[in-house]
A and B are shown apart, each in its own frame.
Chain A
Amino acid sequence: MIAAIASRAATPLWLRHNAGVAGVIVLIGVVSVTGASVSDRFLTLANLLNVCEQTTDLALVSIGQTLTILAGGIDLSVGSLISLASCLTSGLINGNPDRVVPVATAVLLLGSFVGLLNAGLVVALRVHPLIVTLGMGAILQGVTLLYALGPVGRVPRGFSFLAYGRIADVPVGATLAVVLCGLVALLLRYLPLGRQVYALGDDANSARLVGLRRGRILMLVYGCSGFCCAATGLYLAARFGVGQPYTGVNYTLASITPVVLGGTLLSGGRGGVVGTLCGAFLISLLNNLLNFMDVSKHYQLVAQALIIILAVSIYVERRGME
């Protein structure tokens, strides 16, 4: 039904781009109702706020991934960049509260710079982003392991506020993720370069003929993705109290699931970050439900995999049938 709405010619554009949000909200409803029948504690405010808190890392990294996918690319270096960011954060701060601000700033800048480097390589070498970012991921993982073979440094207690802090019961990290999502959504809608992200993802050849500057668009999306990875790394260091060299390894693939669930086309040109945020929440909610049902972590992975395949099969453009 959602696919039908999204592909109907008469459907307004805003709805086409946000059809994923509607779909995800329906699924969130289904999971909630199931959860309520499993446990009384599932649909309580306390549990839902917990779920929000647990969504933070996935939400942060997926917001950046949404941008690269919208532009017709993908960023496979996110996992290693997150690992590097978390190791540098705790290793450089090393328990010294005075270093928190300068190190956090430096890590965010470094993440953005790695993203810009990805974009630069894609443009300069004319290599598909899949390959460039895959290679970048391997390089970053190597660099991380050169820096630390195991857990490194520690963060001061105050820094953990990022991961566990609550203001009036609302988790701080999750709030920051929502704010970031809002900013990116505005940027995509109101920045000329933001509109051009959609154009590039829709038809790269037309974009060239119209005279769009692909390099700038790619720098924007990969730079943002790098920034989001650095933020995720900071968050994970705060959550675990220490940086670990493999902490980001699962995020590369995990960051794609919320994007697709949220209705962004894998081929680019359609979708948005609000859908991604909802998609990330849905995944956390589902994992939470499986926890309530005492299903092992391993089955949770299987469930996630099934969801992504199902989601893609729903959203797939039925070309030739239209």
Chain B
Amino acid sequence: MLTLKGISKSFPGVRALAGVNFDVRPGEIHGLLGENGAGKSTLIKIIAGALAPDEGEMTFADAPARWASPREAKLAGVHVVYQEFALFPQLSVAENVFLGNERRNRIGLVDHKRTRKEAGELLARLGVSLDVSAMVGSLSVADQQMVEIARALTHNVRLLILDEPTAVIAGREVALLFDRLRRLREEGVSVLFISHRLDEVFALCDRVTILKDGRLVGTHETRDVTRASLISMMVGRDLGELFPPRPKAVRARQTALRTEQIAIGERVRDVSIELCAGEIVALAGMVGSGRSDLALGLFGALPLASGAIDIGGERFTAMSPAQAIRLGVGLVTEDRKSQGLALLLDIAANITGPALAEVTRHGLVNREIEAAIATREIERYRIACRGPATPVATMSGGNQQKVIVARWARICRTVLILDEPTRGIDVGAKAEIYRIMRELAAAGVAILMITSEMTEVIGMADRVIIMREGRITGELLGHEATEEGIMHLATSGRAA
């Protein structure tokens, strides 16, 4: 059905894909595995026509495929359910399902009644009952995902690509989705299924392809591989090498930050947590569970609706980022490009950004002091670059992330919050970030790490706090945390 030969793609500072070959047969469910940053998303975008490859050839249904836009891929029968939704928040559920493929009456006008009716039926077959007139922006993330899946099924699909569809849905919906995918397979449709959850891959896929650091590791029949062999192919090394050793447990720690039943916006309710100096706490939960809002709230970037935050013995009922920085609290946001870095500025300016007073002399920024600080940090964190004047936009994701971590690590004395600190970076950079986190913790900083990667939680956390729908549903000590235990609390709110 689909064949890729020697596909390569580079972005400024990163080689996202290097000579990838693989194929999807007609009527098979093909799993695509790899760590974050392995190149899966880039590969999907190329198959879907949203990106053009730098090199390589692609054939689809025995014809060369050089798509100039997603529209051309769609017309050929390739449909993608993206992880970052391609939805229209201000339009209704029904309109979203049929957008670009409108239900029409005899004279070619939009038939609103039929649109609503068919959207409702389609969603019902997927096991969700939604008000099809509701605005998509008002739905939960799980329901939005189902709308997106429903949309892909309205077309005449020949290859359906699902990018981590189960990251935000659970239980019954997953089962119904899998049923649906198996039925599509019987109809001869090919499915390319991306997931982090190995159980799902074994339950659903006929073959699996593993990517690592933009390269193909291999394609195998699912029955020929084991869980352990898949993990070692994905990670390429033992977890022991990736995560720095844990220090011997130190008792009687001081509280660094405590919250009293805080509420933030509408997505965080009644959260009371405590972080101690020198410990690494993982905050686990599904995307949309309120994890990121909690982080933004603790840093003062979202207002507290109620409750109080206690930092270093002082009690606050309101917080602002400026105040948080004064108290030694830092936040490495989830989206480094839009919420963290000034991409066009150089490393030096990015590192000293929140500490401008330190590099200001006589009211002006002193570039020499700035460069001296940056040079020190570049060495300390082994940031690969041509020097402190390197524009951040030209660096790889991993090095960009190190710049942000360096920025906050330098000025954080109390608490450092990291939201998905290793998303989209290579394994080497991950190991470095983990090492930095351990160093900071050893120096007495409390670390709150938000992550969707279970290996990261299990490899790093002294304690795991699990959130679901804006509330804390459980807490596990690092040594008793298992992937299954965390998933249970994150999806059903009950311990396994």
Where the two chains meet, the residues of A that have a C-beta atom closer than 8 Å to any C-beta of B are 9-10, 12-13, 16, 189-192, 194-196, 198-199, 202-203, 205-213, 269-270, 320-322
For A16, what are the chain B residues with a Cβ–Cβ distance below 8 Å?
A: 90, 135
Is there an interface contact between B110 and A191, defined as CB atoms closer than 8 Å? Answer: yes
CB-defined contacts of A199 to chain B, threshold 8 Å: 88, 91, 95, 99-100
Offer 23 A-B interface pairs, CB within 8 angstroms, sorted by A: A12-B133, A16-B90, A190-B109, A191-B110, A194-B110, A196-B99, A198-B88, A198-B90, A199-B91, A199-B99, A202-B91, A205-B86, A208-B69, A209-B48, A210-B70, A210-B100, A211-B74, A211-B75, A211-B100, A212-B99, A269-B91, A320-B265, A321-B303
- Say which residue of B110, B138, B302 sits within 8 Å of A192 (CB atoms): B110
Q: Determine if B70 and A211 form an interchain contact, defined as CB atoms under 8 angstroms apart.
A: yes
Query: Any chain A CB within 8 A of the CB of B266?
Result: yes
In the assembly, what is the distance between CA of A189 and CA of B104, in Å?
A: 12
Cβ of B55 within 8 Å of any chain A Cβ, yes or no, is no
Shortest beta-carbon contacts, A-B, top 8:
A9-B138, A211-B71, A209-B86, A206-B86, A190-B109, A192-B102, A202-B88, A211-B74
Which residue of the partner chain, among A12, A196, A208, contacts B70 with CB atoms under 8 Å? A208
Q: Which residues of chain A have C-beta atoms less than 8 A from B109's C-beta?
A: 190-192
Determine how close the nearest CB of chain A comes to the CB of B469; give it in whole angstroms: 15
B245 at interface, CB cutoff 8 A: no
Distance of A215 from chain B, by nearest CB (Å): 11
B91 and A198 contact, CB distance less than 8 A: yes
| Interface hub of B88, B102, B266 (most chain A Cβ within 10 A) | B88
Q: Which residue of A lies closest to B82 (CB)?
A: A209
* Total chain B interface residues with beta-carbon distance under 8 A: 36
- Nearest A residue (CB) for B108: A192
Does the CB pair B86–A202 fall under 8 Å? no
- Contact flags B131-164 to A (C-beta < 8 A → 1, else 0): 0011101100000000000010000000000000
Q: Inside 8 A of A207's CB, which chain B residues have their CB?
A: 88
Q: Which A residues lie within 8 Å of B265 (CB)? A: 320-322
How long is the Cα–Cα vector from A320 to B304 in the complex, in angstroms? 11
In the complex, how many angstroms separate the beta carbon of B161 from the nearest chain A beta carbon? 12
Indicate whether B64 reaches chain A with its CB closer than 8 angstroms.
Answer: no
Per-residue CB contact flags for chain B residues 453-473 toward chain A (1 = under 8 Å, else 0) read 000000000000000000000
Closest to B136 in A: A202
A203–B89 touching, CB < 8 Å = yes
Further 13 A-B residue pairs, CB within 8 A, beyond A195-B99, A206-B86: A9-B138, A190-B110, A192-B102, A192-B109, A195-B91, A199-B99, A202-B91, A203-B89, A208-B50, A209-B86, A210-B70, A211-B70, A320-B303
Cross-chain contact B110 with A202 (CB below 8 angstroms):
no
Residue of B nearest to A211 (CB): B71
The reply to whether the CB of B80 lies closer than 8 angstroms to some CB of chain A is yes
Interface residues, chain B, with chain A CB atoms under 8 Å away? 48, 50, 69-71, 74-75, 80, 82, 85-92, 95, 99-100, 102, 104, 108-110, 112, 133-135, 137-138, 151, 265-266, 302-303
**Contact partner of A206 among B48, B85, B92, B104, CB < 8 A?**
B85
B80: A residues at CB distance < 8 A: 209
Tell me, rounded to whole Å, the shortest Cβ–Cβ distance linking B427 to chain A: 29
How distant is the Cα of A300 from the Cα of B262 in the complex, in angstroms?
Answer: 48
Min C-beta distance of B288 to chain A, whole Å? 14
Chain A nearest CB from B348 CB (Å) reads 31
Q: Give the residues in chain A near B71, CB-CB below 8 Å.
A: 211-213
Complex Cα distance A194/B99, Å?
Answer: 11
Residues of B within 8 A of A196 (CB): 99-100
Q: Contact partner of A202 among B69, B90, B102, CB < 8 A?
A: B90
Measured in the bound complex, the distance between the Cα atoms of B100 and A208 in whole Å is: 10
For residue B72, give the distance in angstroms from its CB to the closest CB of chain A: 8
Tell me the bound Cα distance from A16 to B91 in angstroms: 10
User: What residues of chain B lie closer than 8 Å to A270, measured between beta carbons?
Assistant: 90
A321 contacts across to B, CB distance below 8 A = 265, 303
Chain A: minimal CB distance from B133 (Å): 6
A81 to B287, CA, bound (A): 49
Shortest Cβ distance from residue A216 to the other chain B in the assembled complex, whole angstroms? 11
Task: Check B99–A210 contact: CB distance below 8 A.
Answer: yes
Which single residue of chain B is at the shortest CB-CB distance from A208? B70
Q: A195-B110, A211-B70 are in contact. Are A269 and B99 (CB under 8 A)?
A: no
Q: How far is the CA of A155 from the CA of B94 in the complex (A)?
A: 51
Given the complex, which residues of A lie within 8 Å of B302, measured CB to CB?
A: 320
Min CB distance A181 to B, Å, is: 19
Q: Contacts of B303 on A, CB cut-off 8 Å?
A: 320-321
Report Cα–Cα, A196/B80, bound state, in Å. 19
Contact between B100 and A212, CB atoms less than 8 A apart = yes
Alpha-carbon distance between A189 and B102 when the two chains are bound, in angstroms: 12
Contact A209 B50 (CB under 8 A): yes
CA separation between A13 and B302, bound complex, in Å? 28
Q: Are A13 and B92 in contact (CB under 8 A)?
A: yes
Residue numbers in A under 8 Å from B102 (CB-CB): 192, 195
Known contacts: A191-B110, A210-B70. The answer to whether A202 contacts B92 by CB under 8 A is no
**Bound: A270/B302 CA distance, A:** 25
A105 vs chain B, min Cβ distance (A): 26
Chain B neighbourhood of A212, CB < 8 A: 71, 99-100
State A96–B302 Cα separation when bound (angstroms): 67
Most buried by A among B50, B90, B138: B90
Partner of B266, one of A12, A13, A198, A322: A322
Given the known interface contacts A209-B80, A210-B100, the answer about A13 and B87 at a Cβ–Cβ threshold of 8 Å is no
CA distance A207 to B108 in the complex (A): 21
Q: Residues of A contacting B133 with CB < 8 Å?
A: 12-13
Q: How far apart are the CA atoms of A203 and B75 in the complex, in Å?
A: 21
Residues on the B chain within 8 Å of A10, using CB? 138
- Closest Cβ of chain A to B496, distance in Å, is 33
Residues of chain A within 8 A (CB-CB) of B134 are 9, 13
Chain A CB within 10 A, most for which of B71, B80, B87, B99: B99
- Supposing A190-B109, A209-B80, A211-B70 touch, asked if A202 and B135 sit within 8 A by C-beta, the answer is no
Q: Of A10, A13, A16, A194, which is in contact with the most chain B CB atoms at under 10 Å from its CB?
A: A13
CB-defined contacts of B48 to chain A, threshold 8 Å: 209
Contact B86 A13 (CB under 8 A): no
Whether the Cβ atoms of B86 and A210 lie closer than 8 Å is: yes
Of all chain B residues, which has the CB nearest A198? B91
- A12–B176 Cα distance when bound, in Å, is 29
Q: How far is the CA of A209 from the CA of B138 in the complex (A)?
A: 21
Which residues of chain B are within 8 angstroms of A194 by Cβ–Cβ distance? 110
B135: chain A residues at CB < 8 Å are 9, 13, 16
Whether A202 pairs with B70 at a CB distance below 8 angstroms is: no
Which residues of A sit under 8 angstroms from B137, Cβ to Cβ? 9
Rounded to whole angstroms, the CA-CA distance of A190 and B104 in the bound complex is 9
Q: How far is the CA of A205 from the CA of B91 in the complex (A)?
A: 15
Q: Are B69 and A211 in contact (CB under 8 A)?
A: yes
Most B Cβ at <10 Å: residue of A16, A199, A321: A199
Q: Which of A196, A211, A213 has the most CB of B within 10 A?
A: A211
Closest to A189 in B: B110
Chain B min CB distance to A59 (Å):
25
Chain B residues in 8 Å Cβ range of A203: 86-89
Docked Cα-Cα span, A203 to B89, in Å, equals 8
